[in-house]
Chains A and B, each alone.
Chain A
Amino acid sequence: MSASVTVPPTAAAPRSPKSAGRPSGRRAPKGIRKSEGIAGWLFTAPMLIILGLFLVVPVLMALWVSFSDWSGRGSPFASGVNFVGLDNYDELLAGGGLAERDFGVALRNNAWYVLLVVPIQTALSLFLAVLVNRQVLKGRGFFRTAFYFPSVTSSVAITVLWLFLFGASGAVNKVLSWFGVNGPNWFQDPSGVVHNLLATVGITQGPAWMTENTTLGVSWWDWWAGPSVAMSAFVLMAVFTTSGTFMLLFIAALQNLGGDVQEAAMIDGANGWQRFWRVTLPQLRPTLFTVLTLGLIGTWQVFDQIYTGTQGGPGKTTVTPAYLSYTSAFESQDWGRGAAIAFVLFVIIVVLTIIQRIVLRDRPVSKRRMRAYSIASSQTANKEGRP
């Protein structure tokens, strides 16, 4: 899925001159053209079959399970399994029970996680890429490898490492204690970071309109709790592990940029800061879109860190929809609900990707900026004494 959305809109293949030159009356392909078509299908068949068997079919099966009362025994297509319509979705989104609240909490946790991880990792990876892309830097290879290293390490290994680092008497709290900071008991602390910040200015109870209104069984005040301290540790981990991967994408894009544009900007008198924001960054837009999309998808699907690290604790503050889907199905034997969670998550990811695509689309230069250019060009024209 990610591959299909990351293709830049302008990448449509140019039509071959032959087909463009043909008269409009179209005939069925003949002779050599026809055998080419068969060969084409033959060559793509293995991939189509593999994709169909291991991707399309399971997805369709899961879709059916989300609309059925399958209980996990035997085939989901057996005669005893009934179509229950939107019951599973209804229970999840408007059931009013534990299922709805659990889903609300999972969405809350994951939304904060995405909100923090995606911008931080994108900014950090771009920063690192710009750093190691500089020609003057000695030992660039070393730094590139070092920054990329966390990405190639297994997430399970890093999670275990993180559990030790952020333990109550772990290395992080030890370092904090040198500065007189009494570190939290990271992975056992369910309190929300935003709530904690508000508590420092004396706000410990939300206003009535926030505590009394609920969405998905979670009060608005609790939606604003922010990531729990435990989840914040996972945020740091995600930034640490994925920045290297995206740095690689940015490096590739940076090396593709022509030096002539930079030189032109230098001649125009743009300083380094201006050149980065006005010249380099706009040219990186396709890569930026890729990185943001991949980041968005990856962070909404976070599972393995939770499964190996906290199992959703403390206080359910690290439960994510992906993990909730797993436990609903495999532990509570509620397979329909588990599948429904997966499809709601899918819709969320698709909608967010579309929104992001709209925000990042190529816009015509705005009138305000256009005016600046036209004034500048008319001034230079005047200086040179032309009419």
Chain B
Amino acid sequence: MQRRSSLAVALGLAAATALTLSACGSGFDDAGETGAAQDGSAGLTVLIGSSGDAETKAVTDAVAAWSEESGTEATLNTASDLNQQLSQGFASGKPADVFYVSTDALAGYAANGSLYPYGDQLSNKDDFYPTLVDSFTYDGQFYCAPKDFSTLALIINTDLWTAAGLTDADVPTTWDQLTAVAQKLTTPEHVGLAFSPEYARVGAFMAEAGGSLLNEDGTEATVNSPENVEALEYVKSLFSSGVAKYSSDLGAGWGGEAFGKGQAAMTIEGNWIAGGLQADYPDVKYTVASLPAGPGGEGTLQFSNCWGIAADSPNQEAALALVEKLTSTDQQLEFAKAFGVMPSVQSAAEQWKTENPDKAAFLDSADYAQGVPTLEGSADVIKDLNSQLESLSTGDPAAILETAQKNMEAIVQ
């Protein structure tokens, strides 16, 4: 009796499970396969990972203005964890129509077909900086329009600079000069230079030495190149002579915090630091200089997000129109004013520079800036490299790069 009923339970459960499973499956299929059917009147949802209230407000206003103009409804949501919310949308077949995509997430979403590759249909396609277009090109297709961009530069605390007896003529343009001024700026209270322990900062030195993680067309891993070794050895020498430290070793969350607190006289950060310092350390006076040139010439890294459009979006035409509006020269200049980013179109460069003369160095370095690798899986490789760079001051630069080289080779095929 007991055995028979437990068998019945098992059978019943199995049947119920099978039924529910198949029901689930068909439900999903409906969404997945017919999702791309176009409906010109469907409203749009926009999902952004905002840096703060200023950005949210600026984008909300821009989207609302477009909505009024075009007659298509559009609502804006801010994500607390953008990647997670996007992934959930793609899996359910009902993603947001227009959203931010970061360079390290692009490859994954492009490879599984979640993104609509609309880049070539943009009317202002040729206006974008070519290096940015490269960053959002996957498998030969230009997927999405860069919404704005940032580059790294050297941020100098003016008060500490003059206190150390340095003048404008001393702004470093070579590695040797950088070492020299960092030396002069180092006191018991603060170090000369501080930056975050990650490739996104240390990589700038690699670029200055003439190195990179991948060769130009992204077909070969070049992590263990002599140029990169030279760059890491230089950074290590800065640490061992005590004139530079990682921001984490100073107890700061990022370079801007160490800089704002006066724990470091110089830092390497992007143009977003302006907003951060304004909000948290409004009294700190600073100047922005291009990063000093290394043995390989001038170099820096650039970062960007793009406006992705979902392949499952029911109204891609309207989404494309919205993105064109959001990346237009005027709109980008307005965004720049609102939350301190740099326009991703070249036609806005001159006006941005006249409006932000003190930050011109950021835009000047766009000519030679290097994008971060966007291959599928490269985010994991860089994460692993970051974890090793944290112990660069005690580690062996060549060994660190050798490990990263092996990891990078595994994903370059």
Contact = CB atoms under 8 A, between A and B. Distances in A.
A78 B33 contact: yes
Main secondary structure of the interface of B (DSSP, over half): helix
A314 interface: yes
B372 to A, nearest CB: 15
A76 B91 CA distance: 8
B91 A74 contact: yes
B387 A314 contact: yes
A74 B17 contact: no
B17 A97 contact: no
A73 B113 contact: yes
A333 interface: yes
Interface in B239-277: 248-251
Interface stretch (B118-126, B215-223, B374-382): B374-382
A48 B87 CA distance: 30
Given A72-B114, A78-B28, A314-B248, A97 B407 contact: yes
B109 interface: yes
B24 A61 contact: yes
B249 A71 contact: no
Contact of B377 (A52, A169, A313, A332): A332
A250 to B, nearest CB: 34
A333 B83 CA distance: 10
A329 interface: yes
B164 interface: no
Given A52-B16, A169-B251, A333 B407 contact: no
Contacts of B407: 97-98
Contacts of A143: none
Contact of B29 (A78, A102, A188): A78
Q: What range describes how many residues of A lie at the interface?
A: 35 or more
A57 B17 contact: yes
A316 B90 contact: no
Nearest to B386: A313
A56 interface: yes
A271 to B, nearest CB: 49
B105 A26 contact: no
B391 interface: yes
B331 to A, nearest CB: 30
Interface string A280-317: 00000000000000000000000000000000011110
B387 A313 contact: yes
Interface in A1-52: 19, 26, 29, 37, 48-49, 52
A206 interface: no
A168 B251 contact: yes
Interface residues of B, number: 46
Contact of A188 (B16, B111, B249): B249
Nearest to A329: B87
Interface string B10-21: 000100110011
A157 B31 CA distance: 38
Contacts of A60: 17, 21
Nearest to B115: A73
A73 B112 CA distance: 6
A83 to B, nearest CB: 14
Contacts, number: 120
A253 B17 CA distance: 39
Interface string A51-89: 011001100110000000001111111100000000000
A315 B387 contact: yes
A366 B407 CA distance: 55
A91 B306 CA distance: 32
Interface string A156-174: 0000000000011100000
Contacts of B28: 74-78
A384 interface: no
Contacts of B384: 98, 101-102, 316
Chain A residues touching B, majority SS? loop
A315 B21 CA distance: 41
Contacts of B388: 315
A315 B383 CA distance: 9
B412 interface: no
A98 B381 contact: yes
Contacts of A332: 108, 377, 379-380
Contact of A57 (B20, B29, B84): B20
Given A73-B32, A314-B387, A332-B377, A53 B91 contact: no
Nearest to A307: B81
A185 B251 contact: yes
A331 interface: yes
Contact of A168 (B20, B29, B114, B250): B250
A169 B407 CA distance: 36
Contacts of B163: none
Nearest to A40: B5
A78 B391 CA distance: 45
Contacts of B251: 167-169, 185, 188
Contacts of B311: 73
Interface string B96-121: 00000000010011011110000000
B52 interface: no
B299 interface: no
B169 interface: no
A330 interface: yes
Nearest to B30: A75
Interface string A318-340: 00000000000111111000000
Contacts of A26: 1
A331 B251 CA distance: 27
A61 B21 contact: yes
B93 interface: yes
Contacts of B91: 72-74
B390 interface: yes
A71 B105 CA distance: 13
Given A48-B16, A72-B90, 6 more contacts: A74-B90, A75-B93, A78-B33, A313-B387, A313-B390, A331-B379
Interface of B: 1, 5, 13, 16-17, 20-21, 24-25, 27-29, 31-33, 35, 83-84, 87, 90-91, 93, 105, 108-109, 111-114, 248-251, 311, 377, 379-381, 383-384, 387-388, 390-391, 407, 410
Name the 6 nearest CB pairs between A and B, nearest first. A75-B28, A168-B251, A74-B32, A333-B108, A71-B112, A77-B25
